[in-house]
Amino acid sequence: MDGEKNVVIFGESGSGKSSIVNLLLGKPVAQVSDRAVGCTFEFSKYTAPNYNLFDTVGLSEGSEGTVSQKFAVNQLINLLKSLENGVSLLVFVMEKGRIKKSLDENYKLFVEAICMGKVPVVLVITHCEMEPVLGKWWEDNRQYFDKYRMTFTSVVCGCSMNPEMAPALMQPMVKSLNDTTVAQLSKAISSSMLVPGWKVKGGWKTLLQTILRRIVKIICIFLQLPDVNLFAGSELSFEDRLFVYFKGQGYDELLSKQMAKDIANVV
């Protein structure tokens, strides 16, 4: 439906994305994982009262992940197809602490490559329950986000911890902070959301068919591979060039063929 409002939540594994989804929906519908490393790229769709939530989980984080790359590429393409009716907002979830390179990579994939910089972004910083002054970490570190040109329409510093997982004395404080977090985030979503949502003219299929360079860039960022020009100086088909590229990056022949075929079939 053209009137759908789609909100995409993204970020590193373990940052609290699924916990944020559960807070927004008021019930434990999204499975929470404590894995330190993402092993596959998946997404789940949930229906909130005024919008759809797409919870993207398990985005590959470097060589430590046991990534099923064929499955990952298929899921990325399926996400693009699911967003054909538009994207109203991106919600970037990160854990308070060290700023890692993968933050920039996640931002580039969703904000710049997939949504072409056309969709507003709300930043949610989790694990702030022990801050003496809520929001101080953000104020102390916001210059690093500016350095990497990561911009946000709103920033919410809060907590998504299950109160039952906290020590008994902390449980009332955690519950109160959760309530504050969901109230502030709900307000940020409502005020930042694009209505109607942004979508590629002609739909995502047109994007996949006509803007091949951007799709290759998305795939390269997603698989953390070097960028490459697959469109110049070769008589090979696009699928064959993809195969040669993936094989050259160390994937075995069967997997390289399958990934190349999957991508070529939709573009």
Asked if pLDDT for residue 223 goes beyond 50, the answer is yes
Least confident of 48-62, 123-137, 139-153: 48-62
Contact present, 173 and 192 (Cβ < 8 Å):
no
What is the C-alpha to C-alpha distance for residues 48 and 203, in angstroms, rounded to an integer?
A: 24
What is the C-alpha to C-alpha distance for residues 47 and 41, in angstroms, rounded to an integer?
A: 20
List pLDDT tens digits, range 100-119: 777 887 888 788 877 888 99
Instruction: In the chain, count H helices and then E strands.
Output: 9, 6
The model's pTM: 0.76
Please, what is the Cα angle at 40 between 162 and 142, to 5 degrees?
A: 60
Residue 110 has phi, psi (to 5 degrees) of -85, -45
Highest mean predicted confidence (pLDDT) among 176-190, 224-238, 243-257: 176-190
Cα torsion angle, 26, 27, 28, 29, sign = negative
Of 78, 82, 61, 60, nearest to 69 (Cα)?
60
Asked if pLDDT for residue 5 goes beyond 80, the answer is yes
What residues have CB less than 8 Å from 189, skipping those under 6 apart? 7, 24, 51, 89, 91, 122
| 52 or 39, higher pLDDT | 52
> Which domains, and CATH codes, for the chain?
6-192 (3.40.50.300), 204-266 (no CATH)
Q: Looking at residue 252, what is its pLDDT?
A: 81
Residue 212's pLDDT band, with cuts at 50, 70 and 90, is low
Q: In DSSP terms, which residues pair with 94 in a beta bridge?
A: 125
Asked if pLDDT for residue 210 goes beyond 60, the answer is no
If one counts every other C-beta atom within 10 angstroms of the C-beta of residue 104, the result is 16
Asked if pLDDT for residue 262 goes beyond 70, the answer is yes
Q: With b meaning 16 or more CB within 10 Å and e meaning fewer, what string describes 28-54?
A: eebebeeeebbbbbbbeebeeeebbbb
Contact present, 121 and 153 (Cβ < 8 Å):
yes
